[in-house]
């Protein structure tokens, strides 16, 4: 797991490049902020995390529980989810607006175009909305079996 990157991931670079091209300026990896957000927008008082669907246990087709070491992975991913929730709460109490971009928004079958994701982020940053979350578009095929 030492080889797993926690910064400069492909989804994060797509977001950074797109927002920078639109004129948004930001800081990276705020060590002094709750949860070390991936992008900090001081002018908009907003924090943004770009989450990997596996590592943060997102309920989407890109996330599957590993078949080996079940207890280890359930504990690890469960702790990540708990930490995410407490991080958001701490940031909100400190007066920050919080946003999340899920990996499935930019990868996989249900991905959106990078332009759609950037447009949504730009609209959120320019608004007064407190929270933002964007994920891929997918249909739960188990709930809608083919006819």
Query: In this structure, are strands 97-102 and 46-51 parallel, antiparallel, or unpaired?
Result: parallel
Instruction: Pick the closest to residue 14 from 43, 47, 42, 39 (CA basis).
Output: 39
3-state DSSP call for residue 128?
Answer: coil
Burial group, residue 123, by CB count within 10 angstroms (0-12, 13-18, 19+): exposed
Rounded to 5 degrees, φ, ψ at 51 are -100, 140
Tell me: pLDDT of 123 over 70: yes
Residue 147: pLDDT over 70: no
Return the CATH fold of 10-134: Endonuclease; Chain A (3.40.960)
Is the pLDDT at 12 greater than 70, yes or no? yes
The pLDDT assigned to 5 comes to: 57
Instruction: Take residue 139 and report the two structure tokens written for it.
Output: 């249909």
pLDDT bucket at 137, cuts 50 / 70 / 90 = confident
Angle at which helices 114-126 and 10-21 cross, to 10°:
60
pLDDT at 1 over 90: no
d(CA 97, CA 138): 27
Instruction: Name which of 48-52, 66-70, 102-106, 143-147 the model is least confident about.
Output: 143-147
Single pTM value for the model: 0.84
């Amino acid at each position: 797991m030492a080889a797993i990157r926690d910064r400069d991931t492909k989804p994060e670079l797509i977001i950074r490049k797109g927002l920078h091209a639109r004129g948004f300026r930001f800081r990276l990896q705020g060590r002094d902020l709750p949860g070390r957000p991936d992008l900090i927008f001081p002018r908009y008082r907003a924090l943004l995390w770009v989450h990997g669907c596996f590592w943060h246990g997102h309920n989407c087709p890109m996330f599957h529980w590993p078949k080996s070491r079940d207890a280890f992975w359930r504990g690890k991913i469960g702790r990540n989810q708990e930490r995410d929730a407490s991080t958001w709460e701490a940031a909100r109490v400190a007066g920050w607006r919080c946003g999340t971009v899920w990996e499935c928004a930019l990868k996989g079958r249900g991905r959106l175009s990078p332009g759609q994701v950037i447009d949504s982020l730009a609209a959120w940053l320019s608004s007064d909305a407190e929270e933002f979350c964007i994920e891929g578009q997918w249909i739960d095929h188990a709930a809608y079996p083919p006819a």
